[in-house]
Amino acid sequence: MLIHKKDQVLEYLEGLNPSQRAAVEQTKGPVMIVAGAGSGKTRVITFRVAHLVRSGVDSFNLLVLTFTNKAAKEMRKRIIELVGPEAKNIWMGTFHSVFAKILRVEAAKIGYPTNFTIYDTDDSKSLLRAILREQQLDDKLYNANFVYNRISSAKNNLISAAEYLKNAQIQSEDTATGRGRLGEIYQIYSQRCFKAGAMDFDDILFKTNVLLREHPDALYKYQNKFKYLMVDEYQDTNYSQYLIVKKLAAINENICVVGDDAQSIYAFRGANIQNILNFEKDYPDLKVFKLEQNYRSTQNIVNVANSIIANNKNQLKKNVFSKNEEGDKIKVARAFSDNEEGKIVAESILQERGVKGLKFNDFAILYRTNAQSRSMEEALRKLNVPYKIYGGLSFYQRKEIKDLISYFRLTFNSNDEEALKRVINYPKRGIGDTSMERIIIAADQHKITPWEVISDAGRFLEQRSATAIGNFAIMIQSFQVVAKNQTAYEAALHIAQHSGLLKDLYTDKSVEGLNRYENIQELLNGIKEFSEREDIEDRGLDIFMQDVALLTNDDNDKNPDADTVSLMTIHSAKGLEFPHVYVVGLEENLFPSQMSINSRADLEEERRLFYVAITRAEKKLTISYATSRYRWGTLTSCEPSRFLDEIDAQFLELEFKNTQKTTDKNPFFDDTLASSKSADTFSKIKPNSGIIRKTTSMLPKAHIPSEGFAPSDISGLQVGMEVEHERFGYGKVINIEGNKSDIKATIFFKELGQKQLLLKFAKLRIVI
């Protein structure tokens, strides 16, 4: 039932604040709603659609576009509660779901059957792999993932295969990289899809643009059908989506877009922030409404987010504020290494939970890259803190990690059949499924293990396959020798290199390939740290594997409602919120990423990503960074992120303490003040004064060993001698104790303070 009486409409809108209500009531003409984080965006969209229906707009004439099916489902449910079953007639859904529905109706116009198939990503890549094999192309240069991403990017920019082949600049770029046949592959792929009556995911928007461009009758039909358009998350639209929306709204111009330029973080997926920044150029009569009250976060969290995003030049200015409690200051924690960072975060979660009676569900750990989850996962597991990885697999469950670990397992237990099956033909070495079946059959016939068959392949298998299988056996046997005679790290690196796994991942230059390569690097970093531990005697790769076996036990509760800490990348966290948030890894070349610091546009997107991370927090926010991280086995000094310098210092609480006093007059070099919670202390520091960089300039950095560093014979080590440790730097021996086989030295290191080391593992160089 439609409601027209003014007093009833007014009562219906009473729950909105003035800005929200104004945006809801403006039903005619072009409208842009700039919705700050936590400002009730979904509520405004829901009420605006309901208000249109209650005001007499035919629900069949409404088109509402979202970016997730979940968002569309939730909105429709709320609208039905407000206006009844009339809401079921609204065209509401994701871009792909709505326009796939239209293409089913109009398919004949563009030469497709109405029951066309939609290929998912795996279908598309499988077809591309078949084409690449048929064309006998080098699968290192023409990797299926890379080719798929290249074609996807072209379609999102409305470049057809024919246009791709005609574009001289594109052809020149492809030729320069040794991939001059990409256009030809794109053309063959498109022809094969068309012949099969299939569209891939990108085709849905690409073909919709073709339909609206080449068939004016279809364009006119849908322009008149959709008299009112609403687009959620407009800052995430790409060129293809932008053109569709613009064409459909061209007659009536009753278009409302909702979004926040400060949360535009998907450029790598084709999103174009200029769509929202330049919206007024397309619609000069545009009415802009700004939702600036944040209902989610404390005042301090909102203030920190504002101080960060203020550094972006390309933005729609708004003054986000909160009327919630002032809240705790934002903690900044510094760790010596990424492993210590994980320990700090895990211990903090346990402490906060215990003191405040919270659930693990109240906590989230956000990071820039998936590889960073390793140190967090290990620290949480050691303290028996349950957690769940969102938007990705647990670090040790990722394919590339399981592949390399399977090589490790096979090295120490050649009868491990599951590990054998996983790696015998990865990377490809001509030992297919048929060969593996013959190995299993031979083992069963002779009542021996598959490994015994493999290690004597010439006896049990036909010559054609015996050579490749025999070479594989020799490789594994060589790994066994290396593992016995080298450190855990040296053995692991040797296996990663000589198995061919590292090379295979390195040649895949797609985003996914780079992530997999980084994950292997992170695993090797963890093994490097393990091999240098001084609190255990046996540090071989086999002992590391025992630890990993415990870590990878599938003992997590599969209940989605289980009480667990949430771990995820910041990209995965968009749209979510948590009472307590930890944003980790705030270091230069990590966050902002190394790839982003060469252009303003990329750097500003990284800053928007940091803004998104901050605004996920409701009650408490902790930011952390490490002063050193392992990169391919080398301990590398890290510089705090420039983003930390951009935070207004009055909202910060610095958690770290210096290990030594200094005469510097800056109060933040004094440990008693560095951890002070006094507002007076912070008032002495000017906003954006670079306090993080200044305080850390005197803090311990990763030691760089002296040239030609080599451990000395420490049999004559005495109290008072000066020594150098490869990791801890220079120090002075202040005590020696213990028996001959278990001598310990207490050393005061200049940068780290006092440490006790077991001399037979310490690897010290005697300086004086």
Please return the burial class of 459, using the count of CB atoms within 10 Å of its CB with bins 0-12, 13-18 and 19+: exposed
Active-site choice (203, 233, 352, 362): 233
What is the distance, to the nearest Å, from the Cα of residue 331 to the centroid of all Cα atoms in its chain?
23
Please answer whether residues 760 and 743 qualify as being in contact, where contact means their C-beta atoms are separated by less than 8 angstroms. Answer: yes
The answer to whether 263 is a known catalytic residue is yes
* CA gap 536, 488 in Å, rounded: 13
Please answer whether residues 495 and 408 qualify as being in contact, where contact means their C-beta atoms are separated by less than 8 angstroms. Answer: yes
239's CB contacts (< 8 A; 6+ apart) are: 156, 157, 158, 270, 272
- Name the residue with tokens 């599938």: 554
* The Cα angle at residue 553 between residues 551 and 555, in degrees rounded to 5: 110
Active-site choice (353, 607, 608, 616): 616
Q: Does 41 appear as a known binding residue?
A: yes
* CA gap 311, 328 in Å, rounded: 24
Q: What does the block give as tokens for 379?
A: 């620290």
- Name the residue with tokens 């800490």: 565
C-alpha to C-alpha distances, 655 to 331, 521, 641, 697, nearest whole angstrom: 6, 30, 17, 16
H-assigned helices in 399-462: 399-412, 417-423, 433-446, 450-455, 457-460
282's CB contacts (< 8 A; 6+ apart) are: 30, 246
* CA gap 158, 154 in Å, rounded: 6
136 φ/ψ sector (left φ>0, alpha ψ -120 to 50, else beta): left
Q: Does 599 appear as a known binding residue?
A: no
Q: Does 39 appear as a known binding residue?
A: yes
* CA gap 374, 394 in Å, rounded: 8
In this structure, what is the dihedral angle of CA atoms 114, 117, 118, 120, given to the nearest 10 degrees? 180
* CA gap 267, 272 in Å, rounded: 6
Q: The dihedral of CA 677, 680, 686, 687: what is its sign? A: positive
- Does residue 667 have a cis bond before it (omega within 30 degrees)? no
* CA gap 482, 502 in Å, rounded: 17
Active-site choice (41, 290, 343, 642): 41
The answer to whether 104 is a known catalytic residue is no
* CA gap 300, 321 in Å, rounded: 10
Neighbours of 323 (CB within 10 A): 9
Complete edge-to-edge strand list for the sheet that includes strand 764-766 = 753-758, 744-749, 729-737, 722-725, 764-766
The answer to whether 403 is a known catalytic residue is no
Q: What are phi and psi of 450, to 5 degrees?
A: -55, -35
Q: Does 40 appear as a known binding residue?
A: yes
556's CB contacts (< 8 A; 6+ apart) are: 386, 387, 388, 394, 562, 564
Active-site choice (202, 203, 232, 522): 232
In this structure, what is the dihedral angle of CA atoms 341, 347, 348, 354, given to the nearest 10 degrees? 170
Question: 345-354, long-range: CB within 8 Å, 24+ apart, which pairs?
Answer: 345/376, 345/379, 345/582, 345/584, 345/622, 345/624, 346/376, 346/379, 346/380, 346/382, 346/383, 346/385, 347/383, 348/582, 348/622, 349/380, 349/385, 349/565, 349/580, 349/582, 350/383, 350/385, 352/580, 352/620
Q: Does 37 appear as a known binding residue?
A: yes
The answer to whether 42 is a known catalytic residue is yes
The answer to whether 232 is a known catalytic residue is yes
Active-site choice (27, 42, 480, 521): 42
Q: Does 59 appear as a known binding residue?
A: no
Active-site choice (235, 237, 241, 263): 263
Nearest alpha-carbon partner for 70 in 267, 232, 207: 232
C-alpha to C-alpha distances, 703 to 412, 596, 621, nearest whole angstrom: 34, 27, 31
DSSP per residue, 4-32 = --HHHHHHHTTTS-HHHHHHHH--SS-EE
**Amino acid at the residue 697:** S
Complete edge-to-edge strand list for the sheet that includes strand 363-367 = 387-389, 565-569, 363-367, 578-583, 617-626, 330-335, 652-654
End-to-end CA gap in the chain: 92
Give the residue numbers marked as catalytic: 41-42, 232-233, 263, 616
Q: Binding site: residue ranges? A: 35-42
User: Residues at the annotated binding site for ATP?
Assistant: 35-42
